[in-house]
Structure 1
């Protein structure tokens, strides 16, 4: 191979790559147009091949070092730049995409919430009419502890916070994912979970109310419940979205309806997971802590709920106004 002729033929590519890299290193990958980004990737592959050939032909060390520098800089900008863009996309989703999805799917979330509240109301009504109803919903050990010992059961969490927190997260995630997956039963299983969880919280709330323990009980529930319950409602909404795609695809073919509504459901799941992780940490470490004053627990719970409502109302359009 004629080294000088090869260098003369390949050098314009090296110079072009150098030009693009200087611009990217100074102004970022966004300074390039789409065609220039593709050109950058193509030149990187081409110069990498040139570097391999230069090493094989044992050309000057200076040229090899220059080509090595070019390929290293190009690799850094292409792949680290792509990772930066991925993180920016994640940040964009949680800042604006998720609130927008919540607003678009609000009727389904509201329906899930209504079923939960219906279950709670039914449990409250029957528990006051027939005290034996509680034993059908609430574990007998919990009933006897509240009625006979006039104590709540959350003290068992103290001392095993990490284990309790992880178990709580796993349980809440399994319930939420079950509610989402329930959409494939045309939403029937999703509806069952919403009503059943409503029955449970309504029955427990009535039990502690009948035994004058409502104030400390709701102080325990408020901090983590401000995130945990909305997350379950979001999961129910996601399940009903899938149920709608199955039963009422509307103008879409059923497969296209699943893609459209399934995409919205997945976006809700991306919001549910961090909410339940945070709620699990709060429920394991903060809510049962006897050293935290009860009024503070109420304030934290209300504060978290107000922050969540404000977050769900976020809109780029409102911001631009």
Structure 2
């Protein structure tokens, strides 16, 4: 749909809504919230199809005024969250797919380099993981429980600590995008090398299968989310470094908002990954094999579905709705 057609079809509604905002005391709060959801849909559509237009700026300004009015009345409806999950975030995720792909390639390349480096240099693992961790793991291997690290703390404290660490690492990867995309790429590379070296270490001890089995119970979500956070960081750096026709400040603000929304969508993933690592992973060698495999496959299917397949479905439906 051409931008002028999009404007003509919705201009009257936007202008009416804008007039209503000038007299907020006469607007029903529930009606205001309903119209805000429609405006959010329009904004998401404009971000997807007209990312550098005055229409996007206008809708963004109007949505901010509406949000402020709803918040001022303290009557914001819970439907804002479902709309974000069902429509706004998926459209952002679809537009971010190229950056997710770059992030994945960097992470996998770093993973491979970590493996090769650990296999060719006996001191590399200690350089990356630290002597204390390596010595502790060697001691656990001698005791017959190579992954005992996952059972050293009680479930709840470990869940809290792991979740906090996962969120910290992911936001660290994201915020390094402030140093241009190379900042996030560096952090992705660093984390990828660590994972590769870790796996190579267990391969050398003939325990690759055991370590992979234990790690991927929670790592399917955790590592996937770090890669996606890397993509969000690359977006942040891209809009800062390459503003295009936008003023650099406006481009940067747009990149920050887009990246933060992706990160907000990832926080629940890290919480679930932390829960699994704190409460489930410690039982990897006593649980039924089918249950371990189910958790890994379910995690993988969720990531592929919500972050890649579902955004395409939403995009096509949204485009069709706007054209019809």
TM-score, normalised to structure 2's length? 0.70
Q: How many residue pairs were aligned?
A: 255
Note the C-alpha offset of 1:246.
Answer: 2.1
Q: Which residue of 2 aligns with 1:117?
A: 108
Question: How is 1:246-257 mapped onto 2 (pairs within 5 angstroms)?
Answer: 246-257=240-251
Deviation at 1:184, TM superposition (A): 1.3
Unaligned runs of 5+ in 2: 1-15, 29-68
Shift of residue 188 of structure 1? 3.2
In the superposition, relative to structure 1, how do residues 310 and 148 fare at CA in structure 2: closer, same or farther (>3 Å)? same
1:103 is aligned to 2:94: yes
Q: CA deviation at 1:84?
A: 7.1
Cα-Cα RMSD: 2.8
2:133: which partner in 1? 142
Do the aligned partners of residues 251 and 160 (structure 1) sit closer, same or farther apart at CA in structure 2, a change above 3 Å counting?
Answer: same
Other-structure match for 2:298: 303
Q: Is the 8 A contact 1:223 1:301 kept in 2?
A: yes
Q: How far did 1:129 drift?
A: 1.5
Matched, 1:41 2:25: yes
Which has more radius of gyration? 1
Q: CA deviation at 1:299?
A: 2.5
Contact 2:20–2:27 (8 Å) recurs in 1: no
Partner SS, residue 265 of structure 1: helix
Partner of residue 29, structure 1: none
**CA deviation profile, 1:151-173 (whole Å, cap 9, x unmatched):** 42444535511111111111111
- 1:279-320: CA deviation from partner (whole Å, max 9, x where unpaired): 111110011225323442232112211122111221235458
Contact in 2 for aligned 1:127/1:206 (Cα 8 Å)? yes
Q: 1:228–1:276: 8 Å Cα contact kept in structure 2?
A: yes
Unaligned runs of 5+ in 1: 1-32, 45-77
Hey, what's the Cα distance between the residues in 2 that align with 1:188 and 1:317? Answer: 29
* Corresponding residue of 1:270: 264
Does the residue aligned with 1:86 lie in a helix, a strand or coil?
Answer: coil
Which residue pairs with 2:65 in the alignment?
A: none
